Amino acid sequence: MMPEMDPNATARLEALENRVGELEDMNAIRRLHWAYGYYIDFNRPDDVAELFARDGVVVFLSGEYHGHAGVKRLYGDWIAGRFTQGRPGPVDGLVLDHFQMQDIITIAPDRQSAKGRFRGMLLGGWHDSVIDRKPDFMPQQFWEAGIYENDYVREDGAWKIKRLDYMMQWQGDYETGLAHTVAHLQPAAVLYPEDPLGPDVILPAEQVRQTWPHRQDVPMHFAHPRFGALLAGQEPR
């Protein structure tokens, strides 16, 4: 006859298993977001889309791009179309490197959804030998930084991006620096399909994000580690 397990030991074991599961979820989401950074570096919109839930959303320049079709339109037609004429990268003479860092990930108690905050930095530019490929509205070399406040969901057993919300913080031309730069990217104004590259939805006027040199807060989804929601900036969404 097997001895009965101590109820306290059973509870501790269950708590430990749950904590290990949360840590595995955090690493999976971190890997998911870092993979996103590499795929957008090399203009691979189909691979980017597969990181999103079927009803996933990207928020970019105050516009929402919905579903896999919207994700491919943004990262393929809009971004890859401008930077590489639609070709997958890397391409000679172009740098488009996105650094993803400073992640804070919060797993929901049921471990079916999560939120993540990341800082992104972008270094972009065209070599003199391919300067004819540069869009007219962009500087030849530039820096950019922004903050993500994202939602993730477990779909068919795998973590996917539910809502990727990127708020640009600044842009700086390499030659003149951010002190003398007005962002070359501005909020969306025309919807798809009137604009073939446009978003499916434009954020309400009070939520439109003006770009550098304007600064806007990006509320944090997480509570202060010591003082809790009192100093969190907002209650968790």
Write out the two tokens for 69: 């079709």
CB 124 within 8 A of CB 142: yes
Q: How confident is residue 88, by pLDDT bands cut at 50, 70 and 90?
A: confident
pTM over 0.95: no
- Domain residue extents for the chain: 7-231
- For residue 3, pLDDT over 90 is answered with no
Q: What is the pLDDT of residues 174-208, one digit of tens each?
A: 999 999 999 999 999 999 999 999 999 999 998 99
Confidence grade of residue 7 (pLDDT, cut at 50, 70, 90)? confident
The backbone region for 20, taken as left when phi is positive above 0, alpha when psi lies in -120 to 50, beta otherwise, is: alpha
Give the strands of the sheet with 52-60, arranged side by side: 94-107, 113-126, 141-155, 158-173, 52-60, 63-66, 201-202
- Does the pLDDT value for residue 80 go beyond 60? yes
Q: Is 99 or 90 the better-scoring residue by pLDDT? A: 99
* pLDDT band at residue 236 under the 50/70/90 scheme: very low
Calculate the alpha carbon distances from 225 to 108, 114, 147, 206 in Å: 16, 17, 20, 30
**7-231 topology per CATH:** Nuclear Transport Factor 2; Chain: A, (3.10.450)
- Is the distance from CB of 173 to CB of 141 less than 8 angstroms? yes
Averaged over 162-184, what is the pLDDT?
95
Residues 6+ apart with CB under 8 A from 233: 217, 219, 220
Is the pLDDT at 235 greater than 90, yes or no? no
